[in-house]
Amino acid sequence: MAPTMATSWCTDAFLREIPKADLHVHLDGSLRLETLVELMRDTSLSLPTEDLDELRRTTFKKDYDSLEEYLKPFMYTCAVLQNAPNLERASYEFAVDNYAEGVRYFEVRFAPQLLCSPRPEDNFSIVDVLRTVAAGLARARSEFDAKRSPGEPRYDFGIVSCAMRMFFPQMSRYYDALHAVHPHADARALTCMASTEMVRACVAARDESGVPVVAIDVAGAEKDNEAEVHRDAFALAHSHGFAKTVHAGEGYGPESIWQAVRDLHAERIGHGFHLFSSDLVMNERNRASPQAYVDRLVKYVSDRRITMEVCLTSNLNTMPELTLERHALREMVSKRISVSIGTDNRLVSDTDVCRELRLAVDSCNLSPKQLKDIVITGFKRSFYHGPYTERRIYVRELMNFYDAVAAKHGVPHVSG
């Protein structure tokens, strides 16, 4: 989408130079394609082709026909991340690519139970996975911090660990072992057990190894996989001081968002696309007045500044009938919902943070103040790992840097 007269103030050079945050991005959906091709040669799977252009045309595409097609590439990316050298390399490259486009802070998420090994001899437990990712990210952070100019804000990151709403045979070594060890447990019990054990591992990684695990998430198909199953895991996470973000309102309606808030006490919502979709209210009690239900939900999340982690390209990928003009971001902005802009999956969605902000500015005709509010929300609503006073200083530095870049590019000054 080309810039309009109303958004001509927002150049690509300006977007690239401003400090940015990405609060919703999956590591396993964000590998470099060249790296994936190289690493796939050592797995039992094979890509359809090793030609990069052909892969971008047929597998890692700009447009997908369905959510199912969108998820298919993950069987390749997850396959190469199941050992420490590959995972550390992918994490390092991920951070390099983010920092190189002006992302100063990101919270990368992944499901460690999709990557770890249940066999002790592999030395690749959930904690090992978290440590390995942190090591790769920290190496890139150190390199970029060493090169930044005096007065520039530093680079930093947090890790969000994802539980899965559901799992199935051959989904991962961990989940297969869980099924094998507990053959008489039903799916609900196994899901609850897996998410709770993941939280325990996150506690160990953070408290014993200093890994900056800042939050817990639940990802996967929402329909028929209600958030309530993970209540015990999130209660445990809450008791240990983790923040909570939950994928909701992406593949199901506004009731999924309420479940995430009510049952898991989510402080941010991954996607939240269907926040206003009163036509998708399904519970009979709520269907008596679906618009009133949505209005109450919108008021609740607005009053508490529960942030919607919006991922525009990803939504277009998984909902082929959707257009940017009909995306919920427009209404979120007009109702002053707390919003951050994320990439979701840099490889699978063929995007980056600058592109996502470009789409937001042009499709919603954002003003300079609206863009600044969204960008700074990415920092203010982060789950920053350090002390509160340190966080306030960091955010102020980023805001000042943003204003300096805006002045350099002739963007109208806005306070706040």
User: What is the chain's Cα-based Rg?
Assistant: 21
Q: What per-residue confidence (pLDDT) applies to 230?
A: 97
Q: Which helix (H) or strand (E) holds 294?
A: helix 290-303
Per-residue pLDDT reduced to its tens digit, 370-380:
999 999 999 99
Q: Which residues contact 291 (CB under 8 A, 6 or more apart)?
A: 278
What would the mean pLDDT of 252-266 be, rounded to a whole number?
96
Q: Which helix (H) or strand (E) holds 256?
A: helix 254-264
What would the mean pLDDT of 141-169 be, rounded to a whole number?
95
pLDDT at 368 > cutoff 90: yes
Q: What per-residue confidence (pLDDT) applies to 4?
A: 62
The rounded mean pLDDT for the chain is 95
Q: What per-residue confidence (pLDDT) applies to 5?
A: 56
What is the end-to-end Cα distance of the chain in Å, rounded? 29
Sheet strands (E) in 167-267: 213-219, 243-248
Q: What per-residue confidence (pLDDT) applies to 3?
A: 59
- As given in the structure block, the two tokens for residue 387 are 């002390």
- Residue 1 pLDDT class (50, 70, 90 cuts): low
pLDDT at 367 > cutoff 80: yes
Q: Which residue has the higher pLDDT, 171 or 331?
A: 331
CA separation, residue 252 to residues 74, 197, 306, 309, 332 (Å): 21, 27, 18, 16, 18
Q: Which residue has the higher pLDDT, 224 or 197?
A: 197
Q: What per-residue confidence (pLDDT) applies to 416?
A: 62
Q: What percent of the chain has pLDDT over 70?
A: 98
pTM exceeds 0.75: yes
pLDDT at 221 > cutoff 80: yes
pLDDT at 224 > cutoff 70: yes
What would the mean pLDDT of 319-334 be, rounded to a whole number?
95
Q: What per-residue confidence (pLDDT) applies to 44?
A: 86
Q: What per-residue confidence (pLDDT) applies to 67?
A: 78
pLDDT at 415 > cutoff 80: no
pLDDT at 414 > cutoff 90: no
Beta bridge partners of 270: 247, 309
Q: What per-residue confidence (pLDDT) applies to 73?
A: 95
Which letter does DSSP use for residue 279 in this model?
A: G
CATH superfamily of domain region 81-220: Metal-dependent hydrolases (3.20.20.140)
How far apart, in whole angstroms, are the C-alpha atoms of residue 204 and residue 45? 33
Which letter does DSSP use for residue 345 in this model?
A: -
- As given in the structure block, the two tokens for residue 42 are 């050592």
Q: Are 116 and 187 contacting, i.e. CB atoms less than 8 angstroms apart?
A: no
Q: Are 103 and 22 contacting, i.e. CB atoms less than 8 angstroms apart?
A: yes
What would the mean pLDDT of 61-68 be, rounded to a whole number?
86
pLDDT at 317 > cutoff 70: yes
Q: Are 24 and 340 contacting, i.e. CB atoms less than 8 angstroms apart?
A: yes
Q: Are 70 and 114 contacting, i.e. CB atoms less than 8 angstroms apart?
A: no
User: What are the boundaries of each domain within the chain?
Assistant: 81-220
Per-residue pLDDT reduced to its tens digit, 82-117:
999 999 999 999 999 999 999 999 999 999 999 999
- As given in the structure block, the two tokens for residue 415 are 């306070």
How long a stretch of residues is the chain? 416
pLDDT at 358 > cutoff 90: yes
- Residue 251 pLDDT class (50, 70, 90 cuts): confident
State how beta strands 156-164 and 307-310 pair: unpaired
